[in-house]
Amino acid sequence: MAENFDVVVIGAGPGGFRAAKRCAQKGVQVAIIEKEFIGGTCLNWGCIPSKALLASAHTLLSAKHAAEIGIDVTSATPNWPKIQQRKDAIVAGFRKAMTATAQAHNIRVFTGRAIVKAPNKITVTNGSKADLQTKKIILATGSESIELANIPFDGQTVISSKEALSLPQIPKSMVIIGGGVIGSELACVYAAMGTKVTIVEALSRLLPMEDEWVSRLIEREFKKIGIDSITGAKVTSVDKTASPAKVVIENGQKLEAEKVLVSVGRRPTVDKETIEALNLKMNGSAIKVNERLETTVHGVYAIGDVVGTTFLAHGATTEADVAAANATGGDRKMSDYCLIPRVVFTFPEVASVGKSEETCKNEGIDATVGKGFFKGNGRSVAHNETTGQIQIVRDNSTNKILGVTIVGFIATEFVTLARLLIGLGPAELGRITYPHPTICETLEDAVKDAFSSS
């Protein structure tokens, strides 16, 4: 006999879990179905484990440069088994906490594959079967790494980001195919650990979603920590018959690598049976939704990577709030996606929100750019973190801030403050006091520079 729920969420990643929690807080009966581990890709093979490794890598680099600020460190070497143990313990701790949160909110958690038979009928398979009846459905099935047809994953030599987070040993050499967010972050991890890292990016620069100045700065700083970058070129083949493997680039260049990490993006994970059963309309490989996050089937919503919007955990949770509100009787719509901050946890970090300088040029917006530099900031100098700058984009027609891009130490932490500046003009900006000495004063410098002529 089927169990009855008001809302069933499929997928327990950041978006799905947030949606289930929000629905439960509204007082409705909620179930969440997860095929593997609670927390989804983000907790288990993405955001959290990668940040744990990046934290170890940053500490290691800081120790190596400690003499520059008067601290003598006799030895700074990575203990890879302990680094991995710490990462795994962090993931396990959050899994436990999420499970406890689900129980505290009376959310039923089912483990297995979810097949939607109809807008109100779901079957969960995991050895046995469970049938669920529901009034509303929220699809949050996430995404998976894109595999290259000519360089397929084997889990040993040619790996995805999932394997890269749990390698048994630090490789001596690694070629990373793809210089986007994931490839660049993992390059920083392994370069810090002593791996000879080369990134090969098909487009003209690393982090191509950001302004060109960001890419130039990042490539320069990557070189300092041992990361080589080859841009505007594709890898044509990988010969695994010998060890290390031979990586061939289309310009004829050949590289050797113990590991080849393919990081060319992610694509939505959709259940074909569900798509066919509901006759859901697609937007390419993603599920098509409207501004209320509702699919083409009434009462069925979709959020996160499966709708192909941001491919960000916090993008998914933003969508989760909207979908959960609408699934429980509300009427909310997604706001401007460019106001969801974009963050990259490289060395140095990159964070941006709103419109960039290049976006304004492409859209024909008359804009002024103000700049602030970390090398002129008291706390940045004190911490020996002088690399980086901030750009503020001002709309000359409205005299308001359109966007902010930050490259530098803890950029990902104060981009939230930058988000609050979007849409403000001189009067509102003039009422903000920045404490001294803080890195946020670099943001103040950029603001004042952007409005110096107004």
- At 392-418, the pLDDT tens digits run 999 999 999 999 999 999 999 999 999
Judge if 140 and 37 occupy the same domain. yes
Has residue 420 been placed in a domain?
yes
- Mean pLDDT of all residues in 72-93: 96
The domain total for the chain is 3
Q: Is 436 a catalytic residue?
A: yes
- Mean pLDDT of all residues in 98-103: 98
| Strand, coil or helix: 341 | coil
- Mean pLDDT of all residues in 75-93: 97
pLDDT tens for 414-454 read: 999 999 999 999 999 999 999 999 999 999 999 999 999 77
Strand partners, 196: 173
Judge if 81 and 95 occupy the same domain. yes
State the first-to-last Cα distance of the chain, in angstroms, to the nearest integer. Answer: 69
Q: What is the pLDDT of residue 321?
A: 98
Point out the domain boundary residue: 234, 264, 294: 264
Per this entry, what is the length of the chain? 454
Judge if 105 and 25 occupy the same domain. yes
Domain housing 89: 3-145+267-337
Helix extents (H) in 253-334: 272-278, 313-327
Judge if 215 and 98 occupy the same domain. no
- Mean pLDDT of all residues in 50-59: 98
Has residue 375 been placed in a domain?
yes
Q: What percent of the chain has pLDDT over 90?
A: 97
Judge if 133 and 276 occupy the same domain. yes
* Average of per-residue pLDDT values in the chain: 97
Point out the domain boundary residue: 337, 363, 379: 337
**In the sheet that 342-344 helps form, which strands lie side by side, from edge to edge?**
342-344, 349-354, 400-408, 388-395, 367-373
Judge if 327 and 385 occupy the same domain. no
Judge if 316 and 439 occupy the same domain. no
Has residue 377 been placed in a domain?
yes
pLDDT tens for 225-239 read: 999 999 999 999 999
Point out the domain boundary residue: 337, 364, 391: 337
Q: How confident is the model at residue 1 (pLDDT cuts 50, 70, 90)?
A: confident
pLDDT tens for 267-320 read: 999 999 999 999 999 999 999 999 999 999 999 999 999 999 999 999 999 999
What CATH code is carried by the domain that includes residue 301?
Answer: 3.50.50.60
Judge if 103 and 235 occupy the same domain. no
Has residue 153 been placed in a domain?
no
Q: What is the pLDDT of residue 453?
A: 79
Has residue 446 been placed in a domain?
yes
Q: What is the pLDDT of residue 366?
A: 97
Whether 128 shows a pLDDT value over 90: the answer reads: no
Judge if 194 and 232 occupy the same domain. yes
Q: Could you say which of 65, 105, 314, 436 is catalytic?
A: 436
Judge if 238 and 300 occupy the same domain. no
Judge if 181 and 275 occupy the same domain. no
Judge if 237 and 117 occupy the same domain. no
- Mean pLDDT of all residues in 33-50: 97
Q: In terms of Cα–Cα distance, which of 343, 335, 411 is closest to 377?
A: 411
Has residue 319 been placed in a domain?
yes
Q: What is the pLDDT of residue 67?
A: 94
Cis bond before residue 81 (omega within 30° of 0): no
